[in-house]
């Protein structure tokens, strides 16, 4: 029953997104495309942060490597669209596996430290290595979408928008599947009480690595799409600021909901966009908003709203049942 | 040719000592704060950075390096008190996840704030004394040796403070068992605040000391925290002596390897050292057991 | 069930679950007070697992209690001398680290450092647990000394025999509520209780 409601909601929202390019101006079309791409990144972060309780301050590495993977495939191997995206995702996943394995050896907060440190190291390497384009990064022409019987050029932003939308919806459905599967339940058990999950018999380390790798898969996709959108890959894609923004969007939107972080991305990006016309360093405000949110609204927008609705319902039930 | 290489090695070894002390000061504060409050301060690099900027500003207007340093120290320590009171205290009981995120958010906020106030161009600070000391076949800036001296003095001061004074015992007791420390009448909340401020102050001092050597720029906090984190993972979070020793080791690794490879990759090297240590001794080289 | 929690609640170190009711010490209400305030009010605590500071020396463990109150130097010396008198073994191991002491010595240290603060009330949670009979005797003596000096002792004990021997009032706690309370003599005359709790 809940499922049917979900699918109805999904179709409605999907409908809105499909219609959007026809009602929005060019600027906002592009903006919406970016929201979807960054939203995908936030969603992938939610898988580990909101569901498994792993804090990552280095998601820029997964994102940026996805971007570079795709860019390198196009520049060095003249890859087509699908191959480029696949390469991007593979690069990101490989990195996630490596970092994930390190997590076997450390506990809790040490892992967070490693995510930050390894992301910065990757950033440093890419910045300094000419093979990857060094400071200037890589530029390329975007290959078209080749579906065999028909070819779409991606220079047309509307085509690109639909490509991104396609991947976004697909990713969302996949992520949702994961979170609702038995594996996803274990993730949440780990977030709730890692010791208990271990005591019950789950190999917590394996699950954490799996979560991190799945997250890397979608972060890589996000990065690959982003580089295709911009037609370049640049060490800035690996910067600390991106890691920070991803965390900010995820928390402000509402961790542990998958769609919450996407909403958070949209809201924060829109606020940032309006602020940027007044203040150059609007991130100051965003950063402050974030800190305030951590202290006063830790469940984010979606979480807090959900709480209000459920709490009211639960309270009523208690009064009726005559609970003390 | 050989002689030239030996000279380079010696010079980098000295640089490593200096750089090691700079990192050690930051790592020490990080370890101290973790040992006392169980908080991994992801904004610690920003205390270093803000210290450098405030120091630059104060030096510019007072024309006195050491006065500028004191001003920066006081300013950041005070800022530390405010951060602890308004950001850490409210979320103390919660899932530690939130503390990590709050500090991370503070880091971004601070970086952007400094960028907005001081602009993107790096700031230069002149060495307070330009004397060079002859060392084998080259000359080494006296200032840098003084930096080492000051750092050592700070560590010795803290060692004495912690081991020999009444308040030092309070701090150590709180580190070992904060619940019982409170049950013994120690005002644990005050200890937290003051220790946090001290840690911040030490980081700021390091920032001002390093300013004449490497100049002042907004991402210097991020840069130092990466090294400090590597140090603290290798040395073991919460181990104060461990931080100092590991810092010198990591710094020497970075500076010595820069004799043969580019300095950027030298940093990567220290990261590899981290991975190496993690694989073979995950609890760090010196970690102490801590009561939760 | 609930004995330790009661003590911890008094001391202010239990998780804040006190939903109703108050805790009063003399005329002061201390229900939600932080531990350090409770300690400074004059309540000492000897926890169940001793919890002496492992990396502090015996002397440092003891001095904390003194330093907290800003006691004058000469007073400090005489107080410490008195404590060493009650705990000669501790006096011999002043510069040893807490973690290097044996279980029994740690228990003595835990009691000693609470006594150093000259509290009006000492909370003792299972002080004789896991100790040799000889040490149990020593602890009984300490409790008697404390009583003589006018310090109240709230003792949580599994060993009914020992509790009856040293106490003036007995409370039996069952499933979180006080069942019997009265003098030890009344306890011993209560056949049902004796059977239930001592199998006599």
The boundaries of the domain holding residue C93 are 3-167
ipTM score assigned to the predicted complex: 0.88
Please name the residue of chain C whose CA is at the shortest distance from the CA of residue B177: C53
The angle at the Cα of B106, spanning A213 to B27, to the nearest 5 degrees, equals: 80
Chains B and C touch (3+ CB pairs under 8 A): yes
Of the candidates C104, C161, C153, which has an alpha carbon nearest to the alpha carbon of residue C128?
C104
**Where do the domains of chain B lie, and which CATH numbers do they carry?**
2-280 (1.10.3470)
Identify the band that residue A312 occupies on the pLDDT scale cut at 50, 70 and 90.
low
* In-domain check, residue C186: no
* In-domain check, residue C45: yes
Neighbours of chain C (3+ CB pairs under 8 A): B
The radius of gyration of chain C from alpha carbons, rounded to an integer in Å, stands at 17
The whole-angstrom separation of Cα B216 and Cα B200 is 18
* In-domain check, residue C185: no
Per residue in B252-275, pLDDT (tens digit) is 998 988 888 887 888 888 888 888
- Segment A73-96 shows an average pLDDT of 92
Per residue in B40-79, pLDDT (tens digit) is 999 999 999 999 999 999 999 999 999 999 999 999 999 9
CA of C192, closest CA in chain B: separation in Å?
38
Please name the residue of chain C whose CA is at the shortest distance from the CA of residue B187: C36
User: What number of other Cβ atoms are within 10 A of residue B82's Cβ?
Assistant: 11
Beta pairing class for C152-156 and C121-125: parallel
Most B CBs within 10 Å, among A52, A109, A111, A119, to test the B interface? A109
Most B CBs within 10 Å, among A108, A118, A287, A293, to test the B interface? A287
The radius of gyration of chain B from alpha carbons, rounded to an integer in Å, stands at 19
* In-domain check, residue C187: no
CB-CB under 8 Å, B173 with C39: no
Chain-centre distance of CA A68, in angstroms? 17
Interchain contact B96–A (C-beta under 8 A): yes
Please name the residue of chain C whose CA is at the shortest distance from the CA of residue B170: C64
- Which of B96, B116, B232 faces A280 most closely, judged by CB atoms? B116
Residues 160..199 of C with a Cβ closer than 8 Å to B: which? Answer: none
The radius of gyration of chain A from alpha carbons, rounded to an integer in Å, stands at 20
CB-CB under 8 Å, B40 with A112: yes
- Segment A163-187 shows an average pLDDT of 94
* In-domain check, residue C111: yes
Of residues B4 and A268, which shows the higher confidence score?
A: A268
Chain-centre distance of CA B123, in angstroms? 20
List the strands of the sheet with C43-46, edge to edge. Answer: C43-46, C121-125, C152-156
The whole-angstrom separation of Cα A53 and Cα A111 is 12
Beta pairing class for A145-146 and A151-152: antiparallel
Q: In b/e form, how buried is each residue of A172-211, taking b as 16+ CB within 10 angstroms? A: beebbebbeeeebebbebbbeebeebeeeeeebeebbbbb
Most B CBs within 10 Å, among C55, C68, C98, to test the B interface? C55
* In-domain check, residue C33: yes
CB-CB under 8 Å, A102 with B101: no
CB-CB under 8 Å, B183 with C13: yes
* In-domain check, residue C46: yes
pLDDT at A321: 44
Domain count, chain C: 1
Virtual CA dihedral for A177, A180, A184, A186, nearest 10 degrees?
-160
Identify the band that residue A323 occupies on the pLDDT scale cut at 50, 70 and 90.
very low
pTM score, whole prediction: 0.88
CATH number of the structural domain spanning residue C56: 3.40.50.300
* In-domain check, residue C140: yes
User: Is the Cβ–Cβ distance between B195 and B126 less than 8 Å?
Assistant: no
């Amino acid at each position: 029953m809940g499922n049917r409601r979900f699918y109805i909601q999904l179709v409605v929202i999907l409908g809105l997104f499909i219609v959007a390019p026809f009602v929005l101006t060019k600027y906002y079309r592009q903006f919406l495309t970016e929201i979807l791409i960054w939203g995908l990144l936030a969603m992938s972060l939610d898988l580990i942060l909101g569901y498994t309780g792993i804090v990552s301050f280095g998601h820029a590495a997964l994102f940026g490597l996805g971007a570079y993977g795709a860019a390198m495939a196009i520049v060095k191997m003249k890859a087509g669209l699908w191959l480029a995206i696949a390469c991007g995702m593979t690069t990101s996943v490989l990195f996630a596996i490596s970092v994930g394995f390190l997590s076997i050896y450390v506990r809790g907060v040490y892992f967070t430290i490693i995510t930050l440190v390894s992301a910065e190291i990757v950033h440093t390497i890419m910045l300094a290595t000419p093979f990857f384009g060094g400071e200037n990064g890589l530029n390329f022409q975007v290959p078209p979408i080749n579906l065999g019987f028909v070819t779409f050029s991606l220079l047309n932003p509307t085509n690109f928008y639909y490509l991104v939308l396609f991947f976004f919806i697909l990713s969302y459905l996949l992520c949702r599947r994961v979170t609702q599967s038995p594996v996803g339940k274990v993730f949440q058990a780990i977030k709730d009480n890692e010791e208990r999950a271990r005591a019950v018999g789950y190999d917590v380390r394996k699950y954490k690595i799996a979560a991190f790798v799945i997250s890397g898969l979608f972060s890589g996709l996000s990065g690959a799409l982003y580089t295709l959108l911009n037609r370049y890959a640049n060490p800035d894609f690996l910067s600390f600021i991106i890691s920070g923004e991803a965390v900010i969007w995820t928390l402000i939107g509402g961790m542990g909901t998958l769609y919450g972080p996407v909403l958070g991305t949209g809201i924060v990006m829109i606020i940032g966009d309006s602020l940027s016309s007044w203040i150059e360093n609007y991130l100051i405000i965003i950063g402050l908003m974030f800190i305030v949110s951590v202290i006063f609204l830790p469940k984010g927008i979606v979480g807090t709203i959900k709480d209000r609705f459920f709490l009211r319902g639960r309270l009523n039930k208690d009064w009726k049942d005559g609970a003390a | 040719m050989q002689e030239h290489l030996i000279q380079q090695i010696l010079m980098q070894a000295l640089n490593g000592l200096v750089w090691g002390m700079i990192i050690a000061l930051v790592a020490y504060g990080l370890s101290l704060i973790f040992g006392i409050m169980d908080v991994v301060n992801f904004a610690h690099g920003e205390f270093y950075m803000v210290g450098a900027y405030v120091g630059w500003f104060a030096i510019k207007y007072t024309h006195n390096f050491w006065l500028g340093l004191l001003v920066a120290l006081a300013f950041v320590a005070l800022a530390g008190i405010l951060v602890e009171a308004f950001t850490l205290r409210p979320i103390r009981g919660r899932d530690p996840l939130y503390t990590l995120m709050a500090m991370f958010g503070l880091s971004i906020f601070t970086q952007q704030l400094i960028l907005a106030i001081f602009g993107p161009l790096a700031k230069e600070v002149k060495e307070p004394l330009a004397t060079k000391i002859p060392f084998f076949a080259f000359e080494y800036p006296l200032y840098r040796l003084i930096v080492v001296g000051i750092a050592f003095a700070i560590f010795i001061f803290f060692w004495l403070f912690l081991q020999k004074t009444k308040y030092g015992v309070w701090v150590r007791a709180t580190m070992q068992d904060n619940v019982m420390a409170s049950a013994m009448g120690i005002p644990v909340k005050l200890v937290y605040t003051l220790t946090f401020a001290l840690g911040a102050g030490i980081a700021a001092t390091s920032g001002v000391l390093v300013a004449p050597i490497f100049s002042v720029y907004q991402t210097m906090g991020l840069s130092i925290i990466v090294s400090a984190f590597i140090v603290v993972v290798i040395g073991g979070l919460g181990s104060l002596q461990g931080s100092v020793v590991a810092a010198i080791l990591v710094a020497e690794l970075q500076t010595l390897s820069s004799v043969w490879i580019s300095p950027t990759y030298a940093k990567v090297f220290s990261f590899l050292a981290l991975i190496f240590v993690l694989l073979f001794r995950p609890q760090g080289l010196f970690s102490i057991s801590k009561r939760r | 069930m609930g004995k330790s929690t009661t003590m911890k609640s008094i001391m202010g170190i239990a998780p804040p679950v006190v939903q109703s009711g108050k805790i009063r010490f003399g005329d002061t209400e201390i229900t939600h007070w932080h531990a350090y305030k409770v300690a400074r009010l004059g309540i000492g605590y000897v926890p169940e697992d001793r919890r002496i500071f492992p990396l502090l020396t015996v002397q440092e463990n003891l001095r904390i209690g003194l330093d907290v109150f800003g006691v004058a130097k000469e007073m400090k010396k005489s107080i410490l001398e008195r404590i060493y008198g009650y705990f000669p073994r501790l006096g011999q191991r002043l510069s040893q680290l807490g973690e290097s002491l044996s279980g029994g010595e740690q228990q003595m240290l835990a009691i000693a450092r609470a006594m150093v603060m000259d509290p009006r009330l000492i909370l003792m949670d299972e002080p004789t647990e896991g100790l040799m009979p000889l040490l149990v005797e020593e602890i009984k003596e300490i409790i008697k000394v404390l009583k003589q000096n006018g310090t109240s002792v709230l003792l949580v004990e599994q060993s009914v025999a020992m509790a009856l021997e040293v106490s003036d009032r007995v409370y039996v706690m069952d499933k979180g509520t006080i069942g019997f309370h009265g003098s030890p003599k009344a306890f011993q005359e209560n056949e049902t209780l004796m059977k239930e709790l001592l199998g006599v």
